[in-house]
Structure 1
Amino acid sequence: MQISPGNGPYKLPNPDTSVHTNPKAKDALRAAQLYYLQDIKMEVIARELGVSRSTVSRLLAHAKRTGMVSVKINPSANLSALVSNQLAEKYGINVHLVPTDGSMDDTELLQRVSAHAAYLLGTIVSSSMTIGVAWGQTMQAVSAALTGHPTHDSVVVQLNGAANPVSSGVRYASEILTRFGQAFTARTEQFPVPAFFDKASTREAMWQETSIHRVLNIQREMNLAVFSLGAANSNLASQVYRGGYLSKAETRQLSEMGVVGDVATVFFDKNGDDAHIEINARATGPTLAELRKVPRRFCVVSGRGKLQAVRGALNGKLITELVIDEGTALALLDG
C-alpha cells in the first residue's frame, strides 16, 4: 500500500495559537514535520527534541489523533493494483483483478468475477468486431450479467460444438450465444457439431462440408475470443466434466496424460501444450495454435480449483487479458 503524494505523503495543517501555547502540541507538530515531511528517523528527532524515541512515537500518534496529520490512500496503488501489475509483468498480459474478502464460496466468487467480466466486455466490444464465445458455466454467468452495448455489423460466433451422447447441447450453448448477441446487437452464428467426434476422421470429413466450413471461416476472422478454462479439480465442476461429454475412461486418460485444463474443449498440459493429447484430434474447438492467432483472448477465471489450469494456459500464451479473483491471483503469484 502506498501513501498518495501531495506536497508530501502527509498533509500538515498550519499551526494555530493553541499549538504555540501547548508544549505537547508544539512538540508533536515539530516531530510530525520532521518525520513525515523531511523523512528524518525517530532517533534523530529524539535527539533534536531532547526526548526518548518512545516519546517521539507517542508524539507522532498524538499528531495523527488530534488531526495535525491526515493520511490519504491512493486507490491506484492498493494491494489489488500491485498484484495485477506483478502478474502483468510476469506473464506479459493485461490483468483485471476482482477484489474479494476471502469469505466467499466458489459460487459467490463466480458471480462476482463474471459480473466484472461482463462490465469489462462492455468497454471492449465495438462495432464491426467478430467475437468468438465458448460455452460453459462461467460463460453462462458472464452472459447473464451482460447489459446492453449496441454495436453495428458485429458477429458473435460459437467457438466449439455442444452436443454429446446425452444431450444435443443446442439450447445450452444457444442461450449463451443469444445473450451476447442481444447485448451487443450482433448477428449470432451457431456451430452445429458435437463437442467431440467419435473419430478424428469424421471431424476431418465434416470440416470439408460447406455449412461447417463457413462457420470455421468466421472463427478465423475473430478479433476477440471470450472463454473460461475447464478444470477437473474445480469445486464447481466444469460442464465438460459433468455434462456427459467424457467417459470415465477418457477422464482417467486425461489425468494420466497430465492434462490440467481445457479451452473450448481443447485440452492442454501444465505447459499449455495440446499436441500429444489424443482426444484433441476429435475436439471441435479451435486448436491452441489457431487460438493464439486471435488478437485479444479474454479469459475469465474464478476459484483456486482452476489454479493449475490458468497457470498452464498462461505458460502456453493462450491469454492476453485475464479477469480473476484476488485470492486465486495471489496463489498464482506464489507458484
Structure 2
Amino acid sequence: MPRNKSVDYRLLLKVSKYYYEKQLTQQEISERLNLSRPKVSRLLKQAEEIGIVKISIIPQPGIHTDLEDALERTYGLKEAVVVEVSDPNSQYAVSREVGAAAADYFSQSVSSPSVIGISWGTTLQAMVDALRSQDFRESQVVQLIGGLGKPESEAHATYILRRLVEKTGAQLSILNVPGIVDNTAVKIALMSDSHLKEVFNYFENIDVAFVGVGTPTPDSVVMRDGTILTQDQLEYLLSQGAVGDICLRFFDERGNIIHSEIDERVLGITLEQIQKIDRVVGVTGGPFKDKAIRAALLGKLVNVLITDHLSAKKLLKEA
C-alpha cells in the first residue's frame, strides 16, 4: 500500500519508539521533541490507526476474560469473574477456589466506608477464610439471614460474619436469631425486638451484598442435617417449581419469587429487597448449580457473578 504523503512517518515512528521501546512518558516525549502533550497523544493514536504500532493482547492460561465478557453481555451483568478451578466436578474444590477469587474481588472492589451484606454457605465461608486482613473500621457488615444449621457448623451464618469482622475490623450488625422458625407467631414475637428491627433497617442501606446461590436437592446444605428444611418441605418447594435460593428465599427457573408458608417463617432479607441493592455479588459454582445460577441472573437477583469456568460455559450454552 503506498504511503500517504501527508503523514509524517518519521515522526510517528520516533514518537512510537520513545513511548513503547524506551518507555518514556508522553510528557517526556513532549519535552524532548518540543511538541505539545496533546499532539504526542494524537501521534500515538495515529500510529496505531495506520499500522505502525500494533498492540496484541495475549491470552493467559487459566484466565477467561472471553467467558466473562460473554456472561456480562448475555445476562446484563455489571461484572463477571470466571475462575479456572482444579476440579470442576468437585463441589469442595469449586467452593474453595471460587471463594478465594471472591476474596480477591472483595479486596479490589469494596471500599470503606460501605454497608456490606453477607449471607451464608460453604463458598462464602471459603471467601472469608481466604480474605486478607484490611481496614474497614468505618464500614458496617450486616447479616442477611439468621443462623442456619447446627451452631457448630462452619457454614453457620454467624461464623462467617464473625470471621469477616475479625479480618476487616468492621462494625457488625448480627441477627442473633434462627434463620427459620417453627411458625409465623414465633417470627412476629421475635420481630418485636428493637435490636432485630435495627438490623432489618440496614437492609435498605446496603451498598454491596455477597450471597451464595443454593439448590433444593436432597444433598444440599439446607437438607444435610434436617435442621433447616424437612423432606416434605423440599418436595413442596420442588412442586412449586423451585430451582434455587438466596438466603433461603426460593425462586423458579425464570427467577420468579416463590412465596410460600416456608417463606413466611424466614428471618432475613427478602428477594425484593435484594433486587434493590446496587451491587449483589453471587459467589457460587459447582457441577449442579448452573440452573439455579441462571435463574438468579434472569431474575436480576445477582448482578455480579463469581463462578467456575465450567459453570460459565453451561450458562452461556443454556442462553
Same fold by TM-score, threshold 0.5 exceeded?
A: yes
1:96 match: 81
Deviations 1:157-212 (A, max 9, x none): 11101156x65879932221122112222011210121112223432443232121
2:93 match: 108
1:151 match: 136
- Counterpart Cα distance in 2 of 1:77 and 1:100: 12
1:217 aligns with 2:196: no
1:189 aligns with 2:173: yes
Match among 247, 250, 270 for residue 264 of structure 1: 247
What one-letter code is carried by the residue in structure 1 that aligns with 2:314? A
The Cα RMSD (Å) is: 2.7
Q: Extract unaligned runs of 5+ from structure 2.
A: 1-12, 14-55
Structure-to-structure mapping, 1:234-313, within 5 angstroms: 237-243=219-225, 244-313=227-296
Instruction: Please give the secondary structure, in 1, of the residue aligned with 2:175.
Output: coil
- Counterpart Cα distance in 1 of 2:153 and 2:124: 14
CA 1:253–1:156: 2 relative to 1, 3 Å: same
8 Å Cα contact 1:265-1:284 kept in structure 2: no
- Counterpart Cα distance in 1 of 2:156 and 2:145: 12
Deviations 1:11-60 (A, max 9, x none): xxxxxxxxxxxxxxxxxxxxxxxxxxxxxxxxxxxxxxxxxxxxxxxxxx
Count of matched residue pairs? 263
Instruction: Please give the secondary structure, in 2, of the residue aligned with 1:297.
Output: strand
CA 1:78–1:172: 2 relative to 1, 3 Å: closer
Structure-to-structure mapping, 1:56-71, within 5 angstroms: none
- Counterpart Cα distance in 2 of 1:103 and 1:222: 32
What one-letter code is carried by the residue in structure 2 that aligns with 1:135? W
- Counterpart Cα distance in 2 of 1:251 and 1:74: 48
Residue 249 of structure 1 and its aligned partner are, at CA, apart by 0.8
8 Å Cα contact 1:154-1:186 kept in structure 2: yes
What one-letter code is carried by the residue in structure 1 that aligns with 2:255? G
- Counterpart Cα distance in 2 of 1:170 and 1:107: 14
1:180 match: 164
- Counterpart Cα distance in 1 of 2:99 and 2:71: 20
Q: Percent identity?
A: 30
1:321 aligns with 2:304: yes
Max Rg structure: 1
What one-letter code is carried by the residue in structure 1 that aligns with 2:305? L
Instruction: Please give the secondary structure, in 2, of the residue aligned with 1:114.
Output: helix
